[in-house]
Amino acid sequence: MQKTILLIEDNQDIRENTAELLELEGYLVITANNGTEGIRLAELELPDLVICDVLMQETDGYAVFSALLESTTTGHIPFVFMTAKSENADRAKALSIGYCDYLIKPFDENELFASVKKMLSDGGVENTR
């Protein structure tokens, strides 16, 4: 069965390029260009995985992750942060919210695919509760 990935990224080039890579690997990709739209789409579509930028206008990636975790319908969905912020404190903040993975931009396709496969096979946050 084809897995669905919700990609939340405010940079159009990164969003389109990442979505294309994932589609070429056989995933169905739904995209959102901001966190508010991403939360709405996650609740509507119930994807198998969410990949989300950290730094966005309005609702940042941390707020998206927290909102999805708090919802009974989306709380189980595995989550991957994408960010140019590579400080340990940023990674620690992400991990303090819940079980997730963390991709540092720019990443190559092998890093992306490895993170996606890891999170899909781990079953996301269900393993940590």
Q: Is the pLDDT of residue 126 over 80?
A: no
**CATH superfamily, region 4-128:** Response regulator (3.40.50.2300)
- Cα–Cα distances (Å) from 6 to 79, 88, 89, in that order, read 10, 25, 25
Q: What is the pTM of this model?
A: 0.92
- Residue 34 in 3-state DSSP? coil
Contact present, 68 and 40 (Cβ < 8 Å): no
pLDDT 10s digits, 10-27: 999 999 999 999 999 999
Residue where the block lists tokens 């991990």: 95
> What's the one-letter identity of residue 2?
Q
Provide the pLDDT for residue 87. 79
Q: What is the model's pLDDT at position 89?
A: 86
